[in-house]
Amino acid sequence: MREPTATDDLTRAERRDRATADTRTSIVEAARACLLADGYAALSTRRVADMAGVPLSQIHYHFGSKRQLILAVLDAENARLLERQRGMYDAPEPLWVRWELACDFLDADLASGYVRILQEMIAAGWSDPDVAASVRGMMSGWFVLLTEVARREQERGSSLGPFTPEEVGALMGTPFLGGEELLLLGVDESMLPIRSALRKVGVLLRSLHRWSDGGPSDGVGDPG
């Protein structure tokens, strides 16, 4: 006698929805792998379909176009990493500690391929208003988060100087975007010290944290 399975209690509509979700996930994962290997311009939806083990028609059925497929890849990656950053910035540690973690994540995100996908779609958005609108929507989540971080610091008594929380959020986020673009181009530390410059922002934040606690700073150049 056959043992009951988890799908036995599902309705036909639920089984169909699950199969649809599984197919979409397989296609998105295959597209991500192909995008990292070939880049956006050379991406072949037929190769994506072959890797996902589905007919080519399934890509058009679920996503409509190559552009929408890649935006789905980016959206999935963006949502996952944004949730990671939200958890990191919600931690009780001082802001300089969380900045150090953000710098640690930079290399992880480069290695994961997220940064390349994002930069590919930013470039595609320069000539495609629909892509630009989608990418702006995704990126707004990051700047909303960073603005919230700055506002919380202000509410805890930290001075933002002449800057609004929104301006601090912009100053926190845009150096990473620009740095990622140059790192993808192969700019190394001997040409431009991107990584070390970003990390020294954390040293400045640490010094400011000591002063705000009423203690002396060890100096901007001293990370200890």
pLDDT digits (tens, 9 = 90+) for 101-117: 999 999 989 988 889 88
Contact 202, 100 (CB under 8 A): yes
Domain that holds residue 46: 9-64
Residue 130 tokens read as 């629909």
The residue type of 15 is: R
Whether residues 80 and 137 share a domain: the answer is: yes
* CATH number, position 119: 1.10.357.10
Domain-located, residue 3:
no
Quick check: 20 pLDDT over 80?
no
How many residues does the structure list for the chain?
Answer: 224
CA neighbor of 58 nearest in space, from 67, 70, 46: 46
Domain-located, residue 32:
yes
Whether residues 195 and 106 share a domain: the answer is: yes
Exposure pattern of 118-143 as b/e (b: 16+ CB <10 Å)? bbbbbebbeeeeebeebbeebbebbe
Whether residues 38 and 78 share a domain: the answer is: no
Domain-located, residue 46:
yes
Whether residues 172 and 206 share a domain: the answer is: yes
Contact 70, 35 (CB under 8 A): yes
> 216 pLDDT band (50/70/90 cuts)?
very low
pTM beyond 0.85, yes or no? no
Residue that is last in its domain, among 64, 80, 100:
64
The residue type of 3 is: E
Whether residues 44 and 125 share a domain: the answer is: no
Whether residues 59 and 78 share a domain: the answer is: no
Task: Kindly tell me the burial class for residue 153, based on how many C-beta atoms sit within 10 Å of its own C-beta (0-12, 13-18, 19 or more).
Answer: buried
